Amino acid sequence: MIELKNVNKNYEVNKNNIVNALQNINISIQEGELFVLKGASGSGKSTVLSLIAALSKPTSGEVIVDAKQISKLPDNFASEYRRDNIGFIFQKYNLIPTLSVSENILLPLVPLNLPAQEAQQKLQRVMKMFDISHKAEAVVKNLSGGEQQRVAIARANVNDPKIIIADEPTANLDERLSLSFIEILKELKALKKTIVIATHDPLFFNLDCVDREIELHKGNILS
Amino acid sequence: MRSKINFYLIEYALNALLREKYKSFFIMSIFTLLTFLLTSVFFITNSIKYELQSTVDTLPQIIVQKIKAGRHYDIDESVVDDVLDIAGVDDAVARVWGYYYFENAGVNFSIVGIDAYEKQYKKSFENIIEDFDFATLEQTPSMVVGRGVKEIMKQSYYDEYFNFIKPDGSLKRVDVAGVFDGQTQLESNDMIVMPKETLKEIFGMDEMQATDIVVKVKNPQEVSTVAAKIKLIYPDTRIITTQDLQISYQNIFDYKSGIFLALFVIAIFTFFIIIYDKASGLSSEEKREIGILKAIGWKIDDILKEKFYEAFILSLFAYLLGVILALLYVYLFQAPILRDIFVGYSQLKTSFELPFIFDLHTLFLVFFLSVPVYVAAIIIPSWKIATLEADEVIR
Amino acid sequence: MPMKKIVLLMLLLSSFVLSSYAKEFMKIASVEPVLVQKGEQKNWCSVCGMNLKKFYKTSYIAHLKDTEPRQYCSIRCLAYDMQNHELDGDIKVVDASTQELIDAKKAYYVVGSKIKGTMSKVSKLAFASKEEAQKFVKKYRGKIVDFASALKMAQDSLKTDSAMVLKKKKKKIYPMGKKVFQKMCKQDIDLSNYDEVNQLKADITTKKLCKHLKEKQLQAVALYLLEVKKADTKEEVAKHIHVTKDEKCPVCGMFVYKYPRWVAQIVFIHNNKEKHLSFDGVADMMKFYFHPNKWGDYGVHDTKEMIKITVTDYYSQKSIDATKAFYVIGSDIYGPMGNELIPFEYEDEAKTFSMDHKGRKVVKFEDITPSEIYELDE
Amino acid sequence: MILTPEVLAIFILNTIFAFFATIAFVLSVKIFLHWNIKSVSQSQYKLEKQSYLSATIIKYIFAIKVPLFLFFIFTLDKISKVITGAMCGAGVVDATPYGTYLLILKVINLYVFAYWLMLNSVDMKNEEQPYTKLKFGIYIIAFFLLMGELVLEGVMFNSIDIDKMVSCCGTIYSSTASSYISNIFSIDTGMLLFLFYGTYVLIMLFALLKNKYLFSIANLFFIIISIIAIIVFFGTYIYQLPTHHCPFCFLQKDYYYVGYLIYIFLFLGTFYGVIVAFIDAKKEQMQRDTKISLVFNTLLVLLLSAYPLIYYIKNGVWL
């Protein structure tokens, strides 16, 4: 399903300072797997997620998703691929704080210009699924952290993507909310979604539902 | 169909504008000011041109004045005969008119002498002749006065008649036969009309003399030829044609428009720079927002489109607002300040209103001078925003 | 002393201005004029009706066969009358300097001086003594001739002078006379009794046919009554060629209403109905006139079917008969289509225009050729 | 020199065009020389981003150029009122030696820019972006055409002499004139109409046969034959004058601005018709383009045919 082959990624901070974020990484993730990337911050977890989501391109190597070379997609096609296949849950939720819940959830659909009815169906489905319908018209910045995360998850799922990517999903949550997030993960897994999570939260370690774990350190996989 | 208007995107663009209240407001103010100024200037120039044209149209095509020692002097009435003989002349009328200073009230009356049986050179005189019996006015020296004049005379207890002081110091009593309402404020405020003979007596003019001669030429193309011929026959005259007047007005006008155009090109350039600058300066909040949109699947094209929707909403709104404000400013409030810059000939003509001339063409013109310039200014900033690395800005 | 000089100079100048002003030659009698005609009508010229006192210094007395003695304002009116009547006896003229009646045939005439003529472009003033005449010439220029040549001049210029006078009458006097008549006079004046202006003027004043009139008004009303009303000449109403907004020139396709100063029209009968076509200039009209079939089927196929052709007179902007008009070719005035044939009602006006505007030539309607028309486009 | 606010507006916009077109030109040259879709180098990413800027600029120029073209025609009409002899835009175009070339160049540029946009939209729909090199190569040529147009426009307005007399359209478009335009009048009207309607029928036929090359060529031919037919035949019915052939006058108010409609139909119909052969688009898009072409060509034919028909019904005769 997802394959990283000999991937290198360098960040150019300035001319004389090039950071090697990833070094010759090979990862293969199967369809329907719940895959966890462990490691301290700066270990390259987020970079891997970015590459899978085609948010950035590898300096060398290939990223193949669904037999498709996403590392060479032109920008517009990368966006299309992201929109249709990836649901991204960010650490800081990355919601637009001045918009309402429903507006935030609908954002990925805006460029599609769907008929109003179809868009509403999709919206209602995810709001119900992640239990945020009661706050549909509330402005996001007035919501609690947990609610905001549910909005973010709803947004990630509004297009019914095959792959869910989560970057430090529990970093800003207390334990109770973290546990309920894991419940949501289980639900998503039941829907046969491929899930990739980057985290250093020990809560995820040795979890039943986690199929595989990899630990990254300074851009290298620790076996 | 993809080509359908994306209302979600418009809604989003509108929201985006509202979120950046101060910036949007600032840009809109500048834009509105620009279109407002531009439209106002075009409206004013259109109106003045129209007014100028209609003023010039009512003026006699040619005025012949005798010049002696550099000053305007009485002209022989027989000049009319010679002028009439020039090919192309339709009519020539010897005018008798002048100013009379009424010391008591400290005002100048303008007095016009008319002959009831002549063709009149001004429409308002025709009306006066129809309303008053000039045959009897000639019997006992009497006159018709503007309503305003009547008031002024009354204040000095001249109700039935008025005593004019002749150049030789003696008095000439002229009865007030009636009051007329002038076509303009100006006319009724200072004009007195009386038979030519009576006026000549008051001014101490010779019987066969006139103040000046106005000439009517049927074919406007011939005016300059006729004028040249009169000058040839009477080298001691000054010939004023409407064309001369028009050219001198036009010169003042072109000069001012020229300055304006120069300023305007600078203004457009400044506008471009300001917009460019404002559109380039992005807050980290905005950058993050674009990053989010790209991360959740917006294409560069989508973001560009959204930016152009924003630009279009803003510019269209500002454009309409500017035009509406200009309409109000120019036609309702008669364009204070700006009008004075353009009305260079206020001393030539005391008062006038800017007539309402609505020209769709002007609106297109203003549109082409503002909206494309604005859109051009945001091309590069929008592109920079749209091609931001999402990955870098959302972390 | 410069100051003194300046004062002197100024005095000199002012006296010069004053004297030249005072000594301006006036035709009005400064003595009691001798008037020989009978009754009230003696005040006016037998021919033109002008006031004799006013033009006393150019006036004449003559005896003609079968008439009372007649008095004229000028040699022009004398010449005019001599066309219809035979002279009987001698002619008396007023000496321009002494204002005495002298024998015209023995007088010295100053012609072409700076003084304006009475009813003529060139003045002809009579003097009894040669010295006086020479003195006059010194001051006002001109040359000295005898009566015969002065009269000859008057006769020769009679036509053009009359045309000039008529032009003025049409433009100024008849309209004024009409207004005066309508406002001031009895509307039932029987004009059949009057042949001459001074008769009518006399009766208007003595029989109170009109309310009190000033000389100018009297003259105007009398001329109007005799020459317009009695002669029953149709009052010329300045008519423009009327075009509607949808009329297009069949030749060039332009809307004609945009160029009212150049309109020309051809009227023809088609299916017993009067129809017309409008053109935005004579050149286009002539193109159609020469080849009516070339421009499409408008129901007129031959020049014979055209019953009226009108063009717009360049000067007066009136509608005039095209076939009687005169056309200037090659002038520096352009019509809406560029080079044009400029139409005029009168030949002299056409010639004047041609002089003013560098015209190449003046032609009559029948002399216009198609090749000339098409040359205009080049 | 004629400097009305309209001309000034055109000049200001031309300056903006020149400025942005130059930016796009520099970028296009870079892209044309170094584009390699397979490369994952930083410079390729940069080129990719810059291609968006170029495309945006070109879209902008085209989007403004279309209404500006109409405004330009409108301005010519307005200027014609101050020039002796001119009665419509034709006179102004004829007033200088550059007018005709400018107009032709403007029309060519409209087609080229529209073609570029079509190419771009097809290119952007394909992950391989197969036309990127081609489209920026075309833009390099289009840039020179555009600059030529801008310079020519400046020169034209600069050399208009208000006092010089020009020919009116009645003379320029007349069968008796000896200009090159008058040559078209030697074509027999029946033949011309046969060609006009015949080409239209062929267009329909090739659309049915789905032969895009023949379809495109027929459309190309249709542009020329339509313009000639309008001048020689249909114009006279619009004016209801057998001798008036001007292709400008019907842009005026007196004819209800019908000319704008005619030319817009002609442009859309033939443009979509011609491009099908030049762009290797997907089947649906080709069908769509063909459909648009057919619709507008049909509208044009109907609109033009209506004039003589209505005339005949009203008057019972042909002109």
Examine the domain organization and report whether C96 and C205 are in the same domain: no
A42: left (phi over 0), alpha (psi -120 to 50) or beta: left
CB spacing of B265 vs D12 below 8 angstroms: yes
Q: What is the DSSP string of B308-360?
A: HHHHHHHHHHHHHHHHHHHHIIIIIS--TTHHHHH-TTTTTS----------H
| Nearest-by-Cβ selection for C252 from D165, D168, D242 | D168
| Nearest-by-Cβ selection for C338 from D85, D244, D246 | D85
Burial class (CB in 10 A: 0-12, 13-18, 19+), D208: exposed
Higher per-residue pLDDT: C120 or B392: C120
Name the nearest CA neighbour of C93 among C118, C112, C66, C68: C118
pLDDT at C6: 52
Q: Chains meeting B at 3+ CB pairs closer than 8 A?
A: A, C, D
Minimum distance, in Å, between the CA of residue A73 and any CA atom of chain D: 7
Examine the domain organization and report whether C230 and C262 are in the same domain: no
Q: Give D124's pLDDT tier (boundaries 50, 70, 90).
A: confident
pLDDT at A153: 92
Name the nearest CA neighbour of D158 among D315, D14, D271: D14
In a domain, C9, yes or no: no
pLDDT at C235: 58
Q: For residue B71, what are the β-bridge partners?
A: B68
Minimum distance, in Å, between the CA of residue B299 and any CA atom of chain C: 55
CB spacing of A75 vs D48 below 8 angstroms: yes
The pLDDT tens digits for D148-168 are: 999 999 999 888 876 666 666
DSSP C185: B
Which of chain A's residues have a Cβ under 8 Å away from the Cβ of D40? 57-60, 71-72
> Residue B274, Cβ neighbours under 10 Å: how many?
16
Domain boundaries, chain B: 7-55+248-394, 75-210
CB spacing of B379 vs D124 below 8 angstroms: no
Contacts of C289 (CB under 8 A, 6+ apart): C266, C303, C306, C309
CB contact residues (below 8 A), chain A span 61-90, against chain B: 75-76, 79-80, 82-84, 86, 88, 90
Is the entire prediction scored with pTM above 0.80? no
Q: How far apart are the C-alpha atoms of B13 and B303, rounded to whole Å?
A: 10
Q: How far apart are the C-alpha atoms of B130 and C183, rounded to whole Å?
A: 11
Name the nearest CA neighbour of A210 among A63, A52, A35: A35
Last residue within a domain, chosen from C156, C190, C225: C156
The pLDDT tens digits for A76-98 are: 888 889 988 999 898 888 898 88
Q: How far apart are the C-alpha atoms of D89 and D74, rounded to whole Å?
A: 8
CB contact residues (below 8 A), chain C span 219-278, against chain D: 248-255
The pLDDT tens digits for A146-177 are: 899 899 999 999 989 999 999 888 888 888 88
Q: How far apart are the C-alpha atoms of C363 and C328, rounded to whole Å?
A: 6
Examine the domain organization and report whether C149 and C182 are in the same domain: no
Q: Give D177's pLDDT tier (boundaries 50, 70, 90).
A: low
pLDDT at D136: 94
pLDDT at D78: 79
CB spacing of D74 vs B387 below 8 angstroms: no
Decide if the complex's ipTM is over 0.90: no
Examine the domain organization and report whether C179 and C293 are in the same domain: no
Name the nearest CA neighbour of D205 among D193, D190, D223, D222: D222
Average pLDDT rounded to a whole number, residues B186-204? 84
Three-state DSSP at A138 gives coil
pLDDT at D205: 93
In a domain, C247, yes or no: no
Task: Give yes or no for a contact between C354 and C330, defined as CB atoms under 8 angstroms apart.
Answer: no
Last residue within a domain, chosen from C104, C128, C156: C156
Name the nearest CA neighbour of D16 among D51, D63, D50: D63
The pLDDT tens digits for A12-62 are: 777 788 888 888 889 999 998 999 998 888 888 888 998 998 888 888 888
Q: Which two tokens stand for residue A104?
A: 């935030």
Q: Provide the greatest CA pair distance for chain A.
A: 54
Minimum distance, in Å, between the CA of residue D244 and any CA atom of chain C: 5
Domain boundaries, chain D: 5-159, 169-315
Q: CA of D214: how far to CAs of A94, C240, D197, D297, in Å? A: 54, 60, 16, 16
Q: Give D221's pLDDT tier (boundaries 50, 70, 90).
A: very high
In a domain, C251, yes or no: no
Q: Which among B287, B296, B304 is the top mutation candidate for probing chain A, defined by the most A β-carbons within 10 Å of its own β-carbon?
A: B296
Which of chain B's residues have a Cβ under 8 Å away from the Cβ of A105? none
D178 pLDDT more than 70:
no
- Give the domain extent around C344: 256-375
CA D38 to chain centre: 37
Q: CA of C166: how far to CAs of B91, C119, C224, D73, in Å? A: 14, 10, 12, 53
The pLDDT tens digits for B291-308 are: 889 888 898 989 999 999
Helix (H) or strand (E) holding B258: helix B242-280
Q: CA of A171: how far to CAs of A11, A146, A174, B247, B300, in Å? A: 25, 11, 8, 81, 31
Q: How far apart are the C-alpha atoms of B238 and D126, rounded to whole Å?
A: 80
Q: How far apart are the C-alpha atoms of C299 and C292, rounded to whole Å?
A: 9
Q: Give B45's pLDDT tier (boundaries 50, 70, 90).
A: confident
Per residue, the 3-state secondary structure of chain D, as one string, reads CCCCHHHHHHHHHHHHHHHHHHHHHHHHHHHHHHCCCCCCCHHHHHHHHHHHHHHHHHHHHHHHHHHHHHHHHHHHHHHCCCCCCCCCHHHHHHHCCCHHHHHHHHHHHHHHHHHHHHHHHHHHCCCCCCCHHHHHHHHHHHHHHHHHHHHHHHHHHHHCCCCCCCCCHHHHCCCCCCCHHHHHHHCCHHHHHHHHHHHHHHHHHHHHHCCHHHHHHHHHHHHHHHHHHHHHHHHHHHHCCCCCCCCCHHHCHHHCCHHHHHHHHHHHHHHHHHHCCCCCCCHHHHHHHHHHHHHHHHHHHHHHHHHHHHHHHHHCCCC
Average pLDDT rounded to a whole number, residues B208-232? 88
D196 pLDDT more than 90:
yes
Chain B residue with CA closest to A85: the answer is B297
Three-state DSSP at A86 gives strand
Contacts of C331 (CB under 8 A, 6+ apart): C340, C342, C353, C354, C357, C358, C359, C360
In this complex, whether C and A touch, counting 3 or more CB pairs under 8 angstroms, is no
Q: How far apart are the C-alpha atoms of B313 and D173, rounded to whole Å?
A: 45
Examine the domain organization and report whether C49 and C130 are in the same domain: yes
Average pLDDT rounded to a whole number, residues B202-209? 87
pLDDT at B344: 53
C87-94 and A17-29 as β-strands: parallel, antiparallel, unpaired? unpaired
pLDDT at D84: 65
Task: Give yes or no for a contact between D289 and D276, defined as CB atoms under 8 angstroms apart.
Answer: yes
pLDDT at B223: 87
CB spacing of D170 vs C251 below 8 angstroms: yes
Task: Give yes or no for a contact between A10 and A61, defined as CB atoms under 8 angstroms apart.
Answer: no
The mean pLDDT of chain A is 88
| Nearest-by-Cβ selection for B296 from A92, A103, A155 | A155
CA B115 to chain centre: 34
Name the nearest CA neighbour of D69 among D107, D40, D17, D96: D107
Examine the domain organization and report whether C266 and C310 are in the same domain: yes
Chain A residue with CA closest to B7: the answer is A113
Per-residue pLDDT of chain C (378 residues; tens, 9 = 90+): 455 555 544 444 444 443 344 356 788 888 888 888 888 888 888 888 888 888 898 888 888 777 778 889 888 888 888 888 877 778 889 998 888 889 888 899 999 888 888 888 888 989 988 888 998 898 888 889 999 899 899 888 888 888 888 888 888 888 888 888 888 888 888 888 888 888 888 888 888 888 888 888 888 888 888 888 887 766 556 688 888 888 888 887 778 888 888 999 999 888 888 888 999 889 889 989 998 888 777 888 888 888 889 999 999 888 999 999 999 998 888 777 778 899 998 888 899 899 988 889 899 999 999 888 888 876
Average pLDDT rounded to a whole number, residues B140-156? 85
Contacts of B309 (CB under 8 A, 6+ apart): B9, B10, B13
Q: Which two tokens stand for residue C197?
A: 């202006």
* Domains of chain A and CATH, by start: 33-56+75-221 (3.40.50.300)
Q: How many CB pairs under 8 A join A and D?
A: 19
Q: Give B183's pLDDT tier (boundaries 50, 70, 90).
A: low
D2 pLDDT more than 80:
no
> Strand runs (DSSP E) across A30-135, as ranges?
34-38, 60-65, 68-69, 86-89
Q: Which two tokens stand for residue C251?
A: 């030749």
CA C68 to chain centre: 29
Higher per-residue pLDDT: C189 or A8: A8
Examine the domain organization and report whether C22 and C151 are in the same domain: yes
Task: Give yes or no for a contact between C184 and C210, defined as CB atoms under 8 angstroms apart.
Answer: yes
Three-state DSSP at A44 gives coil
pLDDT at A124: 93
Average pLDDT rounded to a whole number, residues D294-305? 94
Q: How far apart are the C-alpha atoms of A193 and A164, rounded to whole Å?
A: 7
Examine the domain organization and report whether C135 and C185 are in the same domain: no
Cα angle B149, B152, B155 (rounded to 5 degrees) comes to 150
The pLDDT tens digits for D227-282 are: 999 988 898 888 877 767 888 888 887 788 898 899 999 999 999 998 888 887 78
Contacts of A220 (CB under 8 A, 6+ apart): A23, A24, A25
Examine the domain organization and report whether C331 and C282 are in the same domain: yes
Helix (H) or strand (E) holding C177: helix C174-184
D83 pLDDT more than 80:
no
CB spacing of C336 vs D176 below 8 angstroms: no
CB contact residues (below 8 A), chain A span 45-84, against chain D: 57-60, 71-77
Examine the domain organization and report whether C84 and C183 are in the same domain: no
Name the nearest CA neighbour of C165 among C118, C217, C230: C118
Tell me, what amino acid is at C172? Answer: K
Order of all β-strands in the sheet with A60-65: A17-29, A2-14, A60-65, A68-69
In a domain, C190, yes or no: yes
